[in-house]
Structure 1
Amino acid sequence: PQASREYQLVENGIKTCMYPGYPELYMQLNKKCEFHFTPDWYRGIEYPKEQERGYDFNEDLYVPGYFEVDIKKGESIVFSAGISETTPRKLKQTFEAEVADRTPRDSFYHCLKNSAHQFHNQQEGEHYILAGYPWFKCRARDMFIALPGLTLALDEIDQFEDVMKTAEKAIRNFINEEPVGYKIYEMEHPDVLLWAVWAMQQYAKETSREQCRQKYGELLKDIMEFIRQRKHENLFLHDNGLLFANGTDKAITWMNSTVNGHPVISRTGYIVEFNALWYNALRFIADLVREGGDVYLADELDAQAEVTGKSFVEVFRNEYGYLLDYVDGNMMDWSVRPNMIFTVAFDYSPLDRAQKKQVLDIVTKELLTPKGIRSLSPKSGGYNPNYVGPQIQRDYAYHQGTAWPWLMGFYLEAYLRIYKMSGLSFVERQLIGYDDEMTSHCIGSIPELFDGNPPFKGRGAVSFAMNVAEILRVLKLLSKYY
């Protein structure tokens, strides 16, 4: 009874306001029409997804009436709803201009390209990448991992540079121990700077090392200096050349689910992908600065990489040929997880070809699904592949067997690295699994994660930046073989 059923006629439509203090809702068509006032309540609409998640799931919905309009065969009618009045005769023009501005969703690639553009977010003159829809902000790690795929893979180099302009300011503030001051969250996570280096490395491959050095050379040197001088409060360079981070009290890696304030998986100590990123960064920056004439720094970084690479193999590689997920003193995590695949995918790796192939084989055998790479092997303890139920139940499953599409990007890059031309048809077959996704969930995008067991149902956020980015990056890698 509190809801107002009042309405007033406006040009080719009506305006109505259900509650005081709400904005007016305008509904207009681009053609003369007749509004029939038939107010109805649809009671007890249920939202099963919300119910499954333990949220309110019941709602009553109000419909004020319907429009009747004469329409000729083949004619299109444009309907508009908004909180301000529009000029009906301009509706068709506005609609067509908006359509022209978007990538048509008429192919797998175009769907992904359209989706990629939707993660760009500009506020107050700064350029961010949102981690996903409907509820994610701009998270630092996600931004750097997604950036190459969302921009360089689409040949949008200026967009990469634009986002990096904002990101560089945030990185510099962080390194100089000033407040980050930008809407980029979780900048303090220990692997974020290393992922930033990886993103700039992709820029160097897409443009040239020369261009990368001119644009980002100083930033790359400063990041390395910051880590090597042990200035990061949770990233310690040990004498064996490996990076150590404390993750017992707080989740510090991308596997970041927490229950009651504690990480579900406390990955701590020497963490495998942190050190793969570190080795890759040392070698990449050494090569970059050597070409720029700074031989002294290059030799220093290469010497550091020698030590790091030797320790990496000693610490992480086990007798079964795969890599331990993290090592903390006497505590070694033997779970088969996907984080070792980065060591095969990156341009610079401490592993030799035979060692890389062993890692790839184990990931293929135990973690590969048609929708992504599992976060834990079914053979490992605690495997929990279905991301369903209330929040706490989902938090326990989040990284314990669910399949993540963005990891597939690195997996397929690793596959092409080992098998080259002979791996192409396999890679193409793997990508078919995502083609079906274009017509479910969020149309034309890829959701956050999938169940690790058949039928591999999509779950979580309906659209996820790192997933879209990495599939686009693989499509770009494939195009270089043809």
Structure 2
Amino acid sequence: MILERDTAESAQQELPDPWRLAVGRDICGNAQQALNHEWLVTNGLGGYASGSICGATTRSYHGLLVAALQPPVARTVLVSKLDEEVALPGGEILKLGVNEYHDGSIDPQGYQYLEQVTLEGDIPCFHYRLTEQLQLVKRIWMEYGQNTTYVQYMLEGMTDEEQDEPLTLTLVPFCLSRDYHSSTQGSDDWHFIVDSQNNRCRVRAYDGAPLYHLIADPTAFFSPTGLWYWRVLHRQESERGLPNQEDIYQPGIFSMSMTVGKRVTLILTAEHTLASEFGTASHEEFVNAALIRHQRRVHHLLSVADRTVNNLEQSDPVLARLAIAADQFIVARPDYEQANATRQPPRLTPDRKTIIAGYPWFTDWGRDSMISLPGLLLCTGRYSEARGLLKAFASYMRDGLIPNRFPDTGASPEYNTIDGTLWMFHALGLYFQTTSDWSLLKELFPTLQESIEHHVQGTLFHIGMDAADGLLTGGEDGVQLTWMDAKVGDWVVTPRRGKAVEVNALWYAALTRMESWAVRLSTDASSYSQLRTRVRQHFAQRFWYAEGGYLYDVVDVDGVAGKVDASLRPNQLFAISLCRDLLSTEQCASILQQVTQHLLVPIGVRTLSQNDPEYRKHFKGDPWQRDGAYHQGTAWQWLLGPYVDVYLRIHKDRVQLRPLLLTALERLWSNCIGTISEVVEPEEPYTAAGCCAQAWSVAELLRSWLLVQGKS
């Protein structure tokens, strides 16, 4: 068992300070390493900025300004990157940018000057060594609630006698105007519409395209160029079997002089209304105020995450780092119907929040939002936003189901989920337990009653209760309903039609909560009590696989009575983590042993046993290969959450779990710095894969950390 190996040695393991997170020259100065590490900042709207730490765009999703033009969707890549050139006082020119092209060539090779990348709160800082005495520091952040990115540069460290000698900084922006899922092929006769005036330019790729601005202070000068750079390589898309080349457009260059201690900032914005200070003599003063505002917000988030301490980043730097990582996924979903009816701009308020499932390509999913809510919002003290999110999703309920996902286009939500609504019952239970906000229970209870009734009587996708045993069943051809939802074309990889084990654990937990809530509201609870009792009577009888010592993954497969799926999967953990009385203590211990022996890896939990003939040992390749492995062995970091729950219930030993979490948290320094990826390869060296930042990965590690620290 993994937890029994090298426990004494592992118990001594400690992380570097995750709040003062830094990657050094060993990563930054190595082209391959630097190209495979990423950074991410977000704006609370679904928009973001992201790239490799050395500056190259290794994904088609990378960009310095990826604007959510209809928050939190319609994400559009407008400015893909900036390259920097520095002319030293002696005339030497240093090119700090990095671009990788279709033939594998890298030009320029600015990673040679990159000393380290650090995180100041959530702001990535890039430290370039220009000379022995001189360093250029670049900071990138976004204005919260706006599609605006700040890219700020500062010179540090000259000797006194050299301080009066300015150097010249040239900024080379590369522009696009496309959906973030696509790529651009340029043309010699296609020139962006660029209106320039001294220190600023206004860019539109073509008539009718989104308009955006690039603005520096008055000491800068913009020179139009209008050049295409051809066949830039996106190496991450190569690995994913997707189109991997793109042409990017250079509208012009900004030139400015710099001296030690001076800050210069290029503002990239897709906002319709611009601050009057942009580009004026007050430009840098305005930017400094924006930076202070941003830092204050970070400080506020930390103070809310733990109200018992004054300096969370010192007292618990892991919690501080994860609380800031959590914030990146919490975004606005404005009420556009009300805005249209009143002819007013949509308001961004705490009562209209949702959760982005993962960056860079996911939008907000119902299931992911409900699984992530306890870690992202309750464990960080953001109760009003949790309340607003729960109300918002309840308002979208249809035929007893909350939406599975909201499409990128802003079209009508999709409802193909059997478990998303049940996860909402779980999230509501934890919310009420944490806040005692019983007024919300009273408000939502009729909707919850209606949802249970739909599940009992039957609803979309043949989801409904089997009256014979009280268990919930569901599924139809060509539709994926559980969290194991990979689908390519018409191929549903893990259909799991029938009675899935975690679905019925959730069903039992929901009925238990409804019974308790009905009593609290002085409403007849007998129907929920009877349904709950029926499920309890049949659950272990139907799901226990005595020969294997664990639970079947699905029973009555494809609606065939008695047909079972004995695949050893992690879904059975929820029968213990969510419910206290469905299984015996001996059964729980046996399940934990099987999961630990066959599924647990140092930084996640596999989705299928290595001994299963359907097991896939790699998660890579084209969409068919990746989705074929998505839930057939690939390890998921969010599953450490239920694993920790079960381990603590059986062994009540936090000390043994600490090394496991510390190993998982080491990933804060790799892949996308400061956050946690979606999945990892199921075999050593457990390479990160999928989304570089995943909501429920961060949420469940955060929640687990508090449990192991004895704070929850």
Pairwise TM-score range, normalised by the shorter structure? 0.7 to 0.9
1:158 counterpart SS class: helix
The secondary structure found in structure 1 opposite 2:483 is coil
Match of 1:253 in 2: 482
Q: Which moved more, 1:90-99 or 1:48-57?
A: 90-99
Partner of 1:160: 386
Contact 1:47 1:58 (8 Å CA) reproduced: yes
Q: Distance in 2 between matches of 1:312 and 1:306?
A: 10
CA distance in 2, matches of 1:340, 1:176: 23
Please give the alpha-carbon distance, in whole angstroms, between the structure 2 residues aligned to 1:87 and 1:65.
Answer: 17
CA RMSD across the alignment: 3.2
- The one of 215, 223, 226 aligned to 2:454: 226
1:117 aligns with: 327
Shift, 1:334, TM fit:
1.2
Q: For residues 324-358 of structure 1, what are the alpha-carbon distances to aligned partners after superposition, in whole Å with 9 as ceiling and x for unaligned?
A: 10012242111110100001111434012221111
2:416/2:480 contact within 8 Å kept? no
SS at match of 1:445: coil
Unaligned 5+ runs, structure 1? none
Q: Tell me the residue number matched to 2:289.
A: 93
Report if the CA contact (8 A) 2:604-2:664 is conserved. no
- The CA distance in 1 between the partners of 2:375 and 2:401, in whole Å, is 29
Contact 1:276 1:349 in 2 (8 A): no
Please give the secondary structure, in 1, of the residue aligned with 2:267. strand
CA distance in 2, matches of 1:292, 1:59: 59
- Report what 1:301 is aligned to: 528
Q: 1:53 aligns with which of 240, 245, 257?
A: 240
Deviates more, 1:2-11 or 1:367-376: 2-11
Residues 418 and 463 in structure 2, CA contact (< 8 A), matched pair in contact too: yes
- Pair 1:384-2:616 in alignment: yes
1:202 partner amino acid: L
1:345 matched residue in structure 2: 577
For the Cα contact (< 8 Å) 1:230–1:237, is it kept in 2? no
Q: Is the 8 A contact 2:198 2:222 kept in 1?
A: no
Aligned to 2:400: 175
The CA deviation at 1:231 is 4.8
Of the three residues 415, 423, 426, the one matched with 1:198 is 426
Instruction: State the one-letter code of the partner of 2:333.
Output: Q
Q: Which has the higher contact order (CA 8 A, sep 6+)?
A: 1
How far off its partner does 1:42 sit?
Answer: 4.1
Pick aligned residue for 2:259 from 45, 58, 72:
72
CA distance, structure 1, for counterparts of residue 500 and residue 591 of structure 2? 16
8 A Cα contact 1:116 1:150, kept in partner: yes
Structure 1 residues 204 and 357, CA, compared in 2 at 3 Å: closer, same or farther?
farther
Deviations 1:234-263 (A, max 9, x none): 223331221222355422111111234131
Query: How do 1:29-48 residues align onto structure 2 when only pairs under 5 Å count?
Result: 29-30=216-217, 32-35=219-222, 42-48=229-235
- After superposition, the Cα gap between the structure-2 partners of 1:397 and 1:68, relative to the gap in structure 1 and judged at 3 Å, is same
Distance 2:613 2:589 in 1: 25
What residue identity is the alignment partner of 1:306?
T
CA deviation after TM superposition for structure 1 residue 396, in Å = 0.7
- Write the distance in 1 (CA, Å) between the matches of 2:636 and 2:574: 14
Q: 1:24 to 1:147 in 2, by over 3 A?
A: closer
Q: 1:49 to 1:188 in 2, by over 3 A?
A: closer
In the TM superposition, what is the alpha-carbon distance from 1:197 to its structure 2 partner?
0.9
In 2, the alpha carbon distance for the partners of 1:301 and 1:18 equals: 59
The structural deviation recorded for 1:13 is: 4.3
Q: Which moved more, 1:404-413 or 1:58-67?
A: 58-67
| 2:367 is equivalent to residue 133 of structure 1 | no
Query: How far 1:215 moved relative to its partner?
Result: 4.8
Distance in 2, Cα, partners of 1:155 & 1:241 = 37
Structure 1 residue 152: Cα displacement: 0.8
Measure how far apart 1:311 and its partner are: 1.2
Residue identity (%): 28
Contact 2:655 2:708 in 1 (8 A): no
Amino acid at match of 1:91: V
Change (3 A) 1:176 1:150: closer
| Letter of the 1:101 counterpart | R
- 1:247–1:267 CA contact under 8 A, matched in 2: no
Cα deviation code 1:256-304 (max 9, x no counterpart): 112341311221222101111112222232233234444x52x443333
Q: Does 1:333 align with 2:572?
A: no
Contact 2:197 2:222 in 1 (8 A): no
Question: 1:458 Cα shift?
Answer: 1.4
Inter-CA distance 359–247: structure 2 relative to 1 (3 Å threshold): farther
Once the two structures are TM-superposed, the CA of residue 64 in structure 1 deviates from its matched residue by 5.3
Cα separation, 1, equivalents of 2:489 and 2:194: 49
2:587 is matched with which residue? 355
Q: Which letter maps to 2:469?
A: N
Residue number among 452, 469, 482 corresponding to 1:240 in the alignment: 469
Query: Number of matched residues?
Result: 476
Q: Once the 2 structures are TM-superposed, how far is the Cα of residue 40 of structure 1 from its aligned partner?
A: 6.0
1:156 shift after superposition: 1.0
Query: Is the alpha carbon distance of 1:272 and 1:83 closer, same or farther for their aligned partners in structure 2, counting shifts above 3 Å?
Result: closer
1:456 is matched by which residue type in structure 2? Y
Between the aligned partners of 2:373 and 2:318, the Cα distance in structure 1 is 20
Q: Deviations over 1:160-207 (max 9, x none)?
A: 111111112112x433999x9997844342222211111111112212
Higher relative helix content: 1
Which residue, 467, 481, 491 being the options, matches 1:262? Answer: 491
Deviation at 1:159, TM superposition (A): 0.7
Cα distance in 1 between the residues matched to 2:463 and 2:210: 48
**Cα deviations by residue, 1:38-58 (Å, 9 ceiling, x for unpaired):** 776544321222122232212
Match of residue 151, structure 1, among 371, 377, 399: 377
* Matching of residues 7-26 of structure 1 within 5 Å: 10-15=197-202, 22=209, 26=213
Residue 275 of structure 1 aligns to a residue in which SS?
helix
CA change 1:386–1:349 in 2 (3 A) is: farther
Cα gap change, 1:250 to 1:66, in 2 (>3 Å): closer
Amino acid at match of 1:317: W
Quickly say closer, same or farther: Cα 1:72–1:183, change in 2 above 3 A.
Answer: same
SS of 1:59's equivalent?
strand
CA contact (8 A) 1:447 1:464 kept: yes
CA shift for structure 1 position 19: 5.2
Q: Distance in 2 between matches of 1:290 and 1:83?
A: 52
Could you say what secondary structure the match of 2:236 adopts? helix
Do residues 288 (structure 1) and 498 (structure 2) align?
no
Q: Is residue 2:81 matched to residue 1:81? A: no
Relative to structure 1, the CA distance from residue 5 to residue 317 in structure 2 (aligned partners, 3 Å threshold; closer, same or farther) is closer
Q: Deviations over 1:86-138 (max 9, x none)?
A: 33422332343234334699744333323322322322264332222222222
Kept after mapping to 1: 8 A contact 2:200/2:215: yes
Distance 1:5 1:144 in 2: 43
TM-score in terms of structure 1 length = 0.88
- Name the one with the larger strand percent: 2
Q: Residues 155 and 414 of structure 1: is their aligned pair in 2 closer, same or farther, counting only changes over 3 Å?
A: same
Summarize the Cα distance change of 1:261–1:73 in structure 2 as closer, same or farther, 3 Å threshold. Answer: same
Single out whichever of 136-145 and 184-193 deviates more from structure 2: 184-193
User: Which segment drifts farther, 186-195 or 313-322?
Assistant: 186-195
In the alignment, which residue of structure 2 is the partner of 1:323?
551
